[in-house]
Amino acid sequence: MTLPCITAARRFDANAHRPFLIGAEQVGWIRERDVALLARWPEVFQISNDGVTLSATFDTVDLRSAALASVIGALAADGCIPGWRNETYAIRNAFDAPPLAYIERAASRFFGTMTYAVHLNGVVEYVDGGAPSGGASRGAPQLWIARRSDTKATDPGMLDNVVAGGIGWGFGIAETIVKECWEEAGIPSEIAERAVAGRTAHVLQSLPEGTQAEQIFIYDLALPVDFAPRNQDGEVGEHRLARIDEVARWIEEGALTVDASLATLDCLLRRRWIDEDACEGIDALFAPPALG
């Protein structure tokens, strides 16, 4: 049986959306039911059966950003874009590509634009002691798991990686890891900087607020045995130190977010802590989905 997170990560119907384009480049997906909302701004969007295109009149990053900001503000005021973040995301189809425009983070799913995030697995390998030889014996590995605050705009109350966060414009991957490690778990920079890269997952899924088209940079971080995460920014309700079998059960039950499930499975598979046969279809999620 395919795990629910693997199915959800590519649960997307292109026929229920129209491409969102800037120039000739598709940069997002807009739900059919949301296209009519954009018809209020004929000077901003050219709408056809083939897609929604930002008007060529806006031919610079600043002009595109200003035009979109006006629309996004109005849609948010009408309740069509929830969870305002006051964070800037860049519209770009590759992490190292130059931005085509800047938008409020909350609007990225309405327009289905590509976003980028880091997810970090907090790994603890205990040394139990008491080995017959008189030396220390290594116990079973465990993972620190966070529970998202009930006030989070997305996936409130669900289980998550010990550190997970979107990469805002102006931040690199390493900077984001250090920043999010401190904000979400109180992990100091000298430990956060030891994070080791895993694979990169690609999610394209339909959600109540729109489309999540996201590239997730996965990292593992070995945490000291005597370290306990402490949230600093109010976005985490609690932290749990869990056995591998517990985490695997939460993934099967859908208790972890889709993103966190994929990041955790990547960690468990790379370390051979679970059988690959239990993760049918996951390898496809480490390749970008086709746009069409």
Radius of gyration of the chain (CA): 21
d(CA 284, CA 144): 26
Give CB contacts under 8 A, 24+ apart, made by 63-72.
Answer: 64/22, 64/100, 64/101, 65/101, 65/102, 65/103, 68/44, 68/101, 68/103, 68/107, 69/103, 69/104, 70/41, 70/44, 71/38, 71/41, 71/44, 72/103, 72/104, 72/106, 72/107, 72/110
Q: Which of 24, 4, 33, 60 is nearest to 211 (CA)?
A: 33
Q: Is the pLDDT at 290 greater than 80, yes or no?
A: no
Q: Which of 96, 116, 97 is nearest to 108 (CA)?
A: 116
Cα–Cα distances in Å, from 287 out to 48, 109, 142, 216, 241? Answer: 30, 20, 28, 11, 31
> What angle do helix axes 258-270 and 244-253 make, rounded to 10 degrees?
140
Residues 89 and 108: beta-carbon distance below 8 Å: yes
Q: Is the pLDDT at 23 greater than 90, yes or no?
A: yes
- Single-letter residue type at 44: V
Give the chain's end-to-end CA distance (angstroms, integer): 27
User: Using one digit for the tens of pLDDT, what is the confidence trace for 210-252?
Assistant: 999 999 999 999 999 999 999 999 889 999 999 999 999 999 9
pLDDT band for 277, please (50, 70, 90 cuts): confident
Q: Reduced to 3 states, what is the DSSP secondary structure of residue 68? A: helix
Residues 166 and 105: beta-carbon distance below 8 Å: yes
User: Using one digit for the tens of pLDDT, what is the confidence trace for 46-104?
Assistant: 999 999 999 999 999 999 999 999 999 999 999 999 989 999 999 999 999 999 999 99
Q: Which pLDDT value is given to residue 291?
A: 59
Q: Is the pLDDT at 182 greater than 90, yes or no?
A: yes
User: Using one digit for the tens of pLDDT, what is the confidence trace for 115-162?
Assistant: 999 999 999 986 554 344 444 445 689 999 999 999 887 889 999 999
Q: Which pLDDT value is given to residue 130?
A: 38
Q: Which of 229, 130, 219 is nearest to 185 (CA)?
A: 229
Residue with tokens 């849609």: 75
Q: Reduced to 3 states, what is the DSSP secondary structure of residue 240? A: strand
Q: Which pLDDT value is given to residue 153?
A: 79
Domain architecture of the chain: domains with CATH: 11-114 (3.30.750.160), 116-286 (3.90.79.10)
Q: Is the pLDDT at 274 greater than 60, yes or no?
A: yes
